[in-house]
Structure 1
Amino acid sequence: MKINVSSEIGHLNGVIVHTPGHEVSLVNPELKDELLFDDIIFEEDARGEHLDMLKVFKAAMPRDGQVLEIIDLFLDAVQSEDARGFFIEQLIKEFPEENLSVIEKELLGLTPDQLLVFSTQGTLPGSHKFSLHPSPNLLFTRDLAAVIDDTILLSRAATKTRLRESLMMETIVQFHPLFESVRDKAIRISGNQSIEGGDVLVESKDLVLIGMSERTSFTGLLKASEGLLNHGVKTVLAVDIPKQRASMHLDTIFTFASHSECIAFPPAIMEQRDNVVALQKHNGGIVAENRPSLLNALNEFSSNNYEFIKCGGEDRTNQFREQWTDGANVFALAPGVIVGYERNTNTFNTLVDHGYSYMNQFEFIEEYGEKGLDPNQDHRIAVSFQGHELCRGRGGARCMTMPISRAVLK
């Protein structure tokens, strides 16, 4: 599989996910806020909902498309002694407060399977004297990296709660053969900088959006932009968004749906002014210029003429309710074919008003599971899937996916 993503909407060919495991059952109510969860999740139902979502993906993907589990990739990578040593060295370095150096020998003696359990659940075999918090946010693989054209931007989590996940992804890219083509040109964020993949949206290989959110710092945004502009991206649009839990990443309030349409949460996107800065290379440096709005900037720097479809429709209360339940966080399987939580009925009704056909997950699988989705046909389909437990984690379809291969748009 060729690692390449040159748009948010190209026909999906390869994606990294994580179906919830035992780590979500280790989140107790006293820890949930520290672990960035608004509620506790029932593991069995969340797993079932996630696996059903993946069936929708597979129905839309080409026959040779791959849905990859991040824990399988990590397990493959740490079969190598060098990879295990690298991961443990980074853990000790990044978590000095945990005093992991005192158990370094024990960590180095773990089997790959045991190291995976320690990474995701925080427990050591047969030991009750030492443990870390679990990593329930691994469900949201989107935040760990972003493939942009033929390179990869490795995220660095803003909180210690998710930093272990960043180190897992770094280890995968460094040691798994799947990432050999992008390993040496990966863009890395270090130190006190932070950037998370939910803030990175690829309009095209020439134009990338980065949100400056509560999870992506100003310095992280600049470092990532510099790397992208040096790699060949022509323009980075830095989008300043509210620094709050409800809009933790740009993709919680804005996503791409088709060649000319995006889903937007009006108060944070459509009603904002002077919150976008265009970054471009000029004479060896980076030039920054303000733009009046995101719609204005997109239409100026892309080859498309975009329209924003309102998350939640016209009603103000519905806009806020459905943004909270990830109505704006849709995931494109192909141009004009998007998936999102079933509960966001007003968003789906608004999509229908804009010419989309509505299908639930079962109807879509029945229609396309055998014959496949013809990439040459002009589709406009909004697909819903059930996510009553998944939604408790505060992340939608885009949050739960890391595309690594998409067809190039014609």
Structure 2
Amino acid sequence: MRQSSNTTLEISKTKMKYPLHITSEIGKLKTVLLHRPGKELENLIPEYLERLLFDDIPYLPTVQKEHDYFAGILKNRGIEVLYLDKLAAETLEDEKVRRQFIDQILSESGANPNGTYNILKDYLLSFPVEEIVHKVMAGVLKTEIAEEKKTHLYELMAGHYPFYLDPMPNLYFTRDPAAVIGEGLTINRMREEARRRESLFMQYIIKYHPRFAKFDIPVWLGRGERFPIEGGDELILSKDTIAIGVSSRTSAKAIENLAVQLFQRQGEIQRVVAVEIPKSRAFMHLDTVFTMVDFDKFTIHPAIQGPDGNMRIYILEKSEDPDQVNIRERNNLPAVLKEVLHLPEIDFIPCGGGDIIASAREQWNDGSNTLSIAPGVVVTYDRNYVSNEMLRNHGIEVIEIPSSELSRGRGGPRCMSMPILREDI
């Protein structure tokens, strides 16, 4: 797939070396990666919701309508929307790459190399490439494989678990498996086993897809790293500063390793701000409790701040030893933001207006998880009406999308989007 003329023009305008370019959270969004929810959601059943990291089962026809509305809003604003399944299918058109991908996905899915592995490999290879991608995403049920193919006792007595390959219902949260930083990206080792295979798609797309393969795109951290990190914790505050949440999904060691790699391998980013947040299901990633919506404006869930607004915050900067970082401890988030962004004041916009009931309810439904598509312009869920009114009262243009079913996955518009290109601010 060739780059569109519009994308090529943007690359020329911003003097980019690579087809990835993200230097802020709020620069005008030009290209974004989405995944339209599919059959993987219909393979959710109550008994295995916890295993697959869901609290409820979305109704697929409605969740697709809501997602299409979201994508339509972005397209109507002139944003190029790429789809994960389409990029993956184009990547796997090459037979050698396709076979390699299937081998790797089966290996990482725990398929038995002495039996099930070969059965599943032959089964997947029997489909057109687009359907291979959808099968891998949706999962493979044991009932899909003919009984005569099951020649081993352990296959015939495999128990009641219905899948040979688990579905990937979290795929529509494209923010987490990989995240662009500058002109490179992290391809993430995800904390939970249920999500670890997701980043394999981006690893193959970046390496083999015609849009990206001809560029030597730097991978700041790869999915083979030992310590977990997820894109929902990675926020690009400015061209020289990123913030990363120390959360239930991202470890402090991964943040330090990423800082070392960035300081060694590029010259723009000068500091990494590590922000600890409570480690709970409700506060899954930094972007579920804190997002940037304008040059000096941020949404925040008040519950992440302790007494007197204190938090544990660490500023990581270059050290004389390239394998180490200098660390300065801070405890006040507004003060840190003013320091690193060189701003006289910071405007915090509280989720739910700071009301004890509304803020908890709307944060649970991602009231702070906004997607900025330009300075002062954000996409939000319509159900978070208190937070949306607060944003408008602070001068933010709010574009609401329907969310009765999308929100069941515990992620908002920022979670559902992986920006590829933004204009500099």
TM tier relative to shorter chain: 0.7 to 0.9
2: CA distance between counterparts of 1:299 and 1:85?
51
Aligned to 1:136: 169
The CA deviation string for residues 255-297 of structure 1, in whole angstroms up to 9 with x for no partner, is: 0101110100011147552411101112123111101222221
Q: How big is the shift at 1:197?
A: 0.5
2: CA distance between counterparts of 1:26 and 1:60?
34
Aligned to 2:181: 148
Equivalent position amino acid for 1:44 in 2: P
Decide whether aligned partners of structure 1 residues 37 and 167 sit closer, same or farther in structure 2, where only a CA change above 3 A counts. Answer: same
Percent of aligned positions that are identical = 36
Aligned residues: 382
Q: Is the 8 A contact 1:154 1:170 kept in 2?
A: yes
Aligned to 1:265: 301
1:381 aligns with 2:417: no
Q: How big is the shift at 1:215?
A: 1.0
Aligned to 2:261: 227
Decide whether aligned partners of structure 1 residues 109 and 306 sit closer, same or farther in structure 2, where only a CA change above 3 A counts. Answer: same
Aligned with 2:237 (options 199, 203, 215): 203
Aligned to 2:316: 279
Equivalent position amino acid for 1:18 in 2: H
Equivalent position amino acid for 1:175 in 2: Y
Decide whether aligned partners of structure 1 residues 226 and 71 sit closer, same or farther in structure 2, where only a CA change above 3 A counts. Answer: same
Q: Is the 8 A contact 1:254 1:269 kept in 2?
A: no
Aligned with 2:337 (options 295, 298, 302): 298
2: CA distance between counterparts of 1:324 and 1:105?
40
The CA deviation string for residues 336-372 of structure 1, in whole angstroms up to 9 with x for no partner, is: 0001111111111212322x3xxxxxxxxxxxxxxxx
Decide whether aligned partners of structure 1 residues 402 and 36 sit closer, same or farther in structure 2, where only a CA change above 3 A counts. Answer: same
Decide whether aligned partners of structure 1 residues 175 and 400 sit closer, same or farther in structure 2, where only a CA change above 3 A counts. Answer: same
Decide whether aligned partners of structure 1 residues 276 and 133 sit closer, same or farther in structure 2, where only a CA change above 3 A counts. Answer: same
Q: Is the 8 A contact 1:338 1:382 kept in 2?
A: yes
1:71 aligns with 2:47: no
1:309 aligns with 2:358: no
Q: How big is the shift at 1:306?
A: 2.4
The TM-score with structure 2 as length reference comes to 0.85
1:53 aligns with 2:67: no
Q: Is the 8 A contact 2:256 2:325 kept in 1?
A: no
Aligned to 1:367: none
Decide whether aligned partners of structure 1 residues 343 and 198 sit closer, same or farther in structure 2, where only a CA change above 3 A counts. Answer: same
Aligned to 1:248: 284
2: CA distance between counterparts of 1:269 and 1:202?
21
Structure 1 vs Structure 2 CA RMSD: 2.1
1:164 aligns with 2:197: yes
Aligned to 1:360: none
1: CA distance between counterparts of 2:64 and 2:174?
15
Equivalent position amino acid for 1:80 in 2: D
Aligned to 1:408: 424
Range with bigger deviation, 200-209 or 292-301? 292-301
Aligned to 1:30: 47
Aligned to 1:365: none
Range with bigger deviation, 174-183 or 240-249? 174-183
The TM-score with structure 1 as length reference comes to 0.88
The CA deviation string for residues 113-138 of structure 1, in whole angstroms up to 9 with x for no partner, is: 34213320112795256621211101
Equivalent position amino acid for 2:391 in 1: L
The CA deviation string for residues 32-91 of structure 1, in whole angstroms up to 9 with x for no partner, is: 111111110000000001111112112223xxx410110000000011123223323432
Range with bigger deviation, 338-347 or 103-112? 103-112
